[in-house]
Amino acid sequence: MSLKKSLVVARWEFIEKVRTKAFIISLILMPTFIVIMSVVPSLLMTKADTSTVNIGIIDNTGEIAPVLNTNLTEKYKLPDGRPNYDVVVIPPGDSAKIEANEMVLRKKISSYLVVDTGIQTSRKFQYVSENVSNFKDITRFQSAVKDILVSNDLERSGISPAIVKEVTKPVDLETVRLSKEGKEEKTEAGSGFILGYIFIIIMAFFVLTSGQLLVRSVVEEKSNRIVEVLLSSTTADEIMTGKILGLSLLGLTQLAVWGLIALAFAGQLAAFVTIPDNIWWEGVFFILGFLFYSSIFVMAGAPVTTEQEAQQATTYVSMLLFLPIVLATLVAQNPSAGYLKILTLIPLLTPTMMAFRIPIQTPDLWELLAGTGILIASTYFCMIAAGRIFKIGILVYGKRPSLNELVRWATKKG
Amino acid sequence: MLSVSELRKTYGSTKALDGVSFEVKPGEIFGLLGPNGAGKTTTIRISLGIIEADSGTVRFNGRELNVAMKDHLAYLPEERGLYRKSKVLDVLVYFGGLRNIAPPEARKRALHWLEKFELAGVANHKVDELSKGMQQKVQFISCLLHEPELLILDEPFSGLDPVNQIVIKDMIREMKTRGKTIIFSTHQMEQAERLCDRICLINKGRVVLYGELGEIRRKYGNDTIHMEFEGDSSKLKKLSGIATMDLYENYAEIRTNDGVGRHEFLKQAVSLVDVTKFSVEEASLNSIFISAVEADKTGGENVA
């Protein structure tokens, strides 16, 4: 096989595809997608407020509101040092709730609490807001009120206020991730999952874009018989190698652009995502995964004649890619479950499962090595099979071959 | 130059080629003729190494065809096209690259040919902005960049209007004067008749006629009746003593059975239609083609 002609094909595929609208769109679309899908929700969930939040309180006991105000303002500060919350006391009475609701709707306060007289024994109070899924605020208010009730109880049983203050001191939790090498890294809880998801989404998107480009270029060449001109100048293997090379180059360009965008946002990202030190394993599975899925796309795309069939073929292959993303939820539940190790060693799932597991909890070395081995072997066999299917498939017009025929082509030597 | 021998190829249960052999000599225009589905395209694809024969050999300049030789061949497939969304010059440079011509050189040659065919102005246009005739020329140019020794053209005239047919015909003749060897396939006998030095007629995967065009015609003799007439052509089917008849609305080419004289024939004919012109000459390639294919169908003797 002459690499020279493969390079000619690769150069052509690269230059022609880089100029397409679809590619340029994908360059911008993907980072936007990632930001929206992963960073934004986590930003919303954990990011500190930037201005003081007004919360109302209808305090029928008259004891809770003042203490709550001091506690909240002391404990929660905005990044610039101002208090995070300002407690607005709404005088209790028949029209108190109506007034409070009105204030929420007019955005005077973001939410309000209703404390009834029996709270010390009932241990119940209300939180009213337009949006009741603001877990950060809810947990804070809950624990603040609880602290007050506990101090009240303690003081009533004769314990000195100083001791009460001491025992109700807040507890801070710092999450630390232990790497395989025993190194401790401070991370935000859940950042591994975010990173894992980012990796598999990038991989899926990456494979899909190039896979679709690959299939479409084959369909175009078949429909106008250019494929015959190509085959009269070079061999099917060289064409296939060239196409995969060209598309890999395209993918690298994509990654480089995304990488630059990521760098630009590095400041913001760093707060949520810590790059694990085993990141290069991620690279190994990324590259192998790309080649493996590319060969599957070649197999699916070569026998196709029309755009419509191409759509179908790519859809089927895409489903194979998204299956692991569904399985990723299992990883999220228990990253070290035994059956995940077995799933990870199924070639079709290896690249994505590894990409997802590595940032969360590095798999054992034997798993990494076995995964690499299995993936190299299956990529090798898939490439050979893809080459054979490509060789026959690109000259087949019209009727789509059956699965049996595909298997026969793939196993036919020469 | 190119010699194929005993090519056989089966697709499923159909025999596409059943022992096809012929030889193409350097510098000639060789016509690969035959009806649709005769096996012309399969023969061409095997000759170019696009597909492999089940058995048989292809030799180029005396050696078995290999990948390196592909740089000396050019191929224009039937129903051809180009990358529609790409620029003319880019496509040409790419095709040159596939034949091992470095991009700067390919660019130079492409511009030269575009100039020659009055297409220099569209070098940077996208292919789908070009008229069909212009695209044909560009495709032809894509075959010439690497100065091939042998050009194989599959149905180069199909789907072309008369003006573009002339363009292609002139290009083929020009290639011949530049010392190239040309093989083209067609089922349009008139083009073959005017261009070819030698022909090979294939039917149902077998060679039924092969040799020098003049020789083949002589073999068919000087005794073919060419007749122009007015009147109901279907009446001529009543004629007796006819070996083959190629009948049109106002024209017929006829070979009579041995022993049937032309006077006798003419007498019969004038009683049926109004004969306006009557001559006895060599057979046209078209009627040779038809009678050879007919003879093959009825299991008659192969004229080759």
Q: Structural domain boundaries of chain B?
A: 2-214, 223-281
Contacts of B75 in chain A (CB under 8 A): 228-229, 232
Is residue A40 predicted with pLDDT exceeding 80?
no
Nearest CA in chain B to A6: B98
Residue A178 lies in a domain: no
Lowest mean pLDDT among A160-174, A208-222, B145-159: A160-174
Residue of B58, B98, B141, B145 to mutate for A, most A C-beta atoms under 10 A: B98
User: Inter-chain contact A233–B71, Cβ cutoff 8 Å?
Assistant: yes
Which residue from B73, B97, B100 is facing A232, i.e. has the nearest CB? B73
My answer on whether A369 and A313 are in the same domain is yes
Handedness of CA A87, A88, A91, A96 (dihedral sign): negative
> Shortest Cα distance from B81 to chain A (angstroms)?
4
Rounded to whole angstroms, how far apart are CA atoms A223 and A217?
A: 10
Q: How big is chain B by its Cα radius of gyration, in Å?
A: 22
Helix (H) or strand (E) holding A97: helix A96-105
Q: Tell me which of 3.30.70, 2.40.10, 3.40.390, 3.40.50 is the CATH number of domain B223-281.
A: 3.30.70
Say if CB B254 and CB B265 are below 8 A apart: yes
Q: What average pLDDT does the structure give for chain B?
A: 87
Nearest CA in chain A to B81: A224
User: Inter-chain contact B50–A395, Cβ cutoff 8 Å?
Assistant: yes
Q: Which of A114, A140, A173 is the last residue before a domain boundary?
A: A173
- Max CA separation in chain B (angstroms): 72
Q: Which of A103, A138, A173 is the last residue before a domain boundary?
A: A173
Is residue B31 predicted with pLDDT exceeding 90?
yes
Say if CB A249 and CB A16 are below 8 A apart: no
Residue A182 lies in a domain: no
CA angle B182, B183, B184 (to 5 degrees): 115
Q: Mutual orientation of helices A403-411 and A365-393 as an angle, nearest 10°?
A: 100
Nearest CA in chain B to A4: B100
Rounded to whole angstroms, how far apart are CA atoms A90 and A147?
A: 22
Residue A184: predicted pLDDT: 60
Is residue A146 predicted with pLDDT exceeding 90?
no
Strand B73-76 relative to strand A184-186: parallel, antiparallel, unpaired?
unpaired
Q: What average pLDDT does the structure give for chain A?
A: 80
> Shortest Cα distance from A232 to chain B (angstroms)?
6
Residue A108: predicted pLDDT: 86
The 10 Å Cβ neighbour count of residue A182 is 6
Q: Which of A361, A366, A354, A356 is nearest to A180 (CA)?
A: A361
Residue B60: predicted pLDDT: 92
CA A93 to chain centre: 49
My answer on whether A214 and A306 are in the same domain is yes
User: Inter-chain contact A232–B100, Cβ cutoff 8 Å?
Assistant: no
pTM, rounded to two decimals: 0.72
My answer on whether A156 and A253 are in the same domain is no
The size of the A-B interface in CB pairs under 8 A is 71
User: Inter-chain contact B73–A5, Cβ cutoff 8 Å?
Assistant: no
ipTM: 0.82
Contacts of B81 in chain A (CB under 8 A): 223-226
Fold observed for domain B2-214 = Rossmann fold (3.40.50)
My answer on whether A17 and A133 are in the same domain is no
My answer on whether A263 and A402 are in the same domain is yes
pLDDT tens digits for range A281-320? 888 888 888 888 888 888 888 888 788 888 888 888 888 7
Residues contacting A402, CB < 8 A, separation 6+: none
Residue B182: predicted pLDDT: 94
Q: Where are the alpha helices (DSSP H) in chain B?
A: 40-47, 88-98, 103-116, 132-142, 162-177, 189-195, 213-219, 262-272, 285-297
Residue A67 lies in a domain: yes
User: Inter-chain contact B98–A224, Cβ cutoff 8 Å?
Assistant: no
My answer on whether A205 and A104 are in the same domain is no
Among the ranges A22-36, A256-270, B40-54, which has the highest mean pLDDT value? B40-54
User: Inter-chain contact A5–B98, Cβ cutoff 8 Å?
Assistant: yes
Handedness of CA A194, A195, A198, A204 (dihedral sign): negative
Q: How confident is the model at residue B301 (pLDDT cuts 50, 70, 90)?
A: very low
Helix (H) or strand (E) holding A76: none
Which residue from B86, B98, B100 is facing A16, i.e. has the nearest CB? B86
Say if CB B213 and CB B196 are below 8 A apart: yes
Residue B264: predicted pLDDT: 84
Is residue B22 predicted with pLDDT exceeding 90?
yes
Distances (CA, A) of B26 to A88, A90, B40, B207, B208: 101, 105, 20, 21, 23
Say if CB B41 and CB B9 are below 8 A apart: no
Lowest mean pLDDT among B58-62, B275-279, B292-296: B292-296
My answer on whether A284 and A300 are in the same domain is yes
User: Inter-chain contact B98–A235, Cβ cutoff 8 Å?
Assistant: no
Residue of B94, B142, B146, B149 to mutate for A, most A C-beta atoms under 10 A: B94
Lowest mean pLDDT among A183-197, A247-261, A364-378, B125-139: A183-197
My answer on whether A130 and A247 are in the same domain is no
Nearest CA in chain B to A224: B81
Residues contacting A86, CB < 8 A, separation 6+: A52, A53, A54, A55, A73
Q: How big is chain A by its Cα radius of gyration, in Å?
A: 30
User: Inter-chain contact A225–B78, Cβ cutoff 8 Å?
Assistant: yes
Residue B304: predicted pLDDT: 39
pLDDT tens digits for range A310-348? 888 888 888 877 777 777 777 767 777 778 888 888 888
Catalogue the E-assigned strands of A130-286: 176-178, 184-186
User: Inter-chain contact A228–B77, Cβ cutoff 8 Å?
Assistant: yes
Residue A154 lies in a domain: yes
My answer on whether A196 and A293 are in the same domain is yes
User: Inter-chain contact B142–A4, Cβ cutoff 8 Å?
Assistant: no
My answer on whether A296 and A354 are in the same domain is yes
pLDDT tens digits for range A228-241? 889 888 888 888 88
User: Inter-chain contact B50–A220, Cβ cutoff 8 Å?
Assistant: no
CATH of the domain at A154: 3.40.190.10
Mean pLDDT over residues A194-206, rounded?
Answer: 78
Is residue B113 predicted with pLDDT exceeding 70?
yes
Q: How confident is the model at residue B285 (pLDDT cuts 50, 70, 90)?
A: confident
User: Inter-chain contact B98–A230, Cβ cutoff 8 Å?
Assistant: yes
Residue A273: predicted pLDDT: 55
Give residue A166's identity as a one-letter amino acid code.
E
Q: Which of A173, A199, A218 is the last residue before a domain boundary?
A: A173
Lowest mean pLDDT among A47-51, A350-354, B157-161, B171-175: A47-51
> Shortest Cα distance from A304 to chain B (angstroms)?
18
Residue B300: predicted pLDDT: 45
- The β-bridge partners of B7 are B20
> Shortest Cα distance from A410 to chain B (angstroms)?
16
DSSP states of A283-337 as a string? HHHHHHHHHHHHHHHHHHHTT--SHHHHHHHHHHHHHHHHHHHHHHHHHHH-TT-
> Shortest Cα distance from A405 to chain B (angstroms)?
12
In chain B, pLDDT over 90 holds for what percent of residues? 36
User: Inter-chain contact B95–A233, Cβ cutoff 8 Å?
Assistant: yes
Q: Mutual orientation of helices A236-264 and A21-34 as an angle, nearest 10°?
A: 40
Q: How confident is the model at residue B302 (pLDDT cuts 50, 70, 90)?
A: very low
Residue A319 lies in a domain: yes
For B6-15, the CB contacts below 8 A with 24+ separation are: B6/B55, B6/B56, B6/B57, B7/B43, B7/B46, B7/B53, B7/B55, B7/B56, B7/B58, B8/B53, B8/B54, B8/B55, B8/B56, B9/B39, B9/B42, B9/B46, B9/B51, B9/B53, B9/B54, B9/B205, B10/B54, B15/B204, B15/B205
Contacts of B86 in chain A (CB under 8 A): 16
Is residue B225 predicted with pLDDT exceeding 80?
yes
Residue A180 lies in a domain: no
Mean pLDDT over residues B206-228, rounded?
Answer: 85
Which residue from A8, A20, A232 is facing B48, i.e. has the nearest CB? A232
Structural domain count of chain A: 2
My answer on whether A307 and A203 are in the same domain is yes
My answer on whether A201 and A348 are in the same domain is yes
User: Inter-chain contact A228–B50, Cβ cutoff 8 Å?
Assistant: yes
- Domain span at A109: 50-173
Residue A374: predicted pLDDT: 92
In chain A, pLDDT over 90 holds for what percent of residues? 6
